[in-house]
Structure 1
Amino acid sequence: MVIPKKIELEAATSNTDPQAPIDFFNAVGEKYKTAEVASEGSVERFYNLAGHKIRLCFAGSALIPYLTPALSHLEIEAVANPELTVCLWDSESTHTAMLPPPWSKDCYHPKRGEIIGYNTDRIHTSFQWGSYALSLLDRDRNLGIYWISTVKQIPYWETGAPLRTIFNVWLNQREVQLVHAGAVGLPEGGVLLAGKGGSGKSTSALACLNSNLFYASDDYCLISPTPTPTVFSLYNTGKKNADDVERLPFLASAIRNRDRLDTEKALYFIHQTFPEKILNHFPIKAILIPRIAGTKDTTLEPTSSTSALTALAPSTMIQLPGTGKEACQMMKTVADRVPCYELRVGTEIEQIPQTIFQLLSQGIH
Structure 2
Amino acid sequence: MTAQSSPVIVAAARTPIGSTGHSLARLQVEKLAAPVLRELSDRVAPLGIPDDVVLGNCMGPGGNVARLSALAAGLGEAVPGLSVDRQCASGLAAIDVAAQAVRAGSELVLAGGVESASTAPWRFWPPASPEAEPVRYQRARFAPSAEDDLEMGLANDLFAAEAQVSRERQDAYAARSHALAVEARDAGTYDDEIVALGAVTRDDRPRSGLTTQRLGRLPAAFRPGGTVTAGNSCGISDGAAAVAVVGAAAQERLGVPGLRILGTATSGVAPSRPGRGLVPATRLALKRAELDLDQIDVIEFNEAFAGQVLACCDELDLDPARVCRQGGALALGHPWGASGAVLAVRLFSQLVTQGAGRYGLAAIAAGGGMGVAMVVEAC
- TM class by shorter-chain length? under 0.3
Q: Which has the higher contact order (CA 8 A, sep 6+)?
A: 2
Which is higher, the Rg of structure 1 or of structure 2?
A: 1
Instruction: Name the structure with the higher strand share.
Output: 1
Q: TM-score, normalised by structure 1?
A: 0.25
Q: TM-score, normalised by structure 2?
A: 0.24
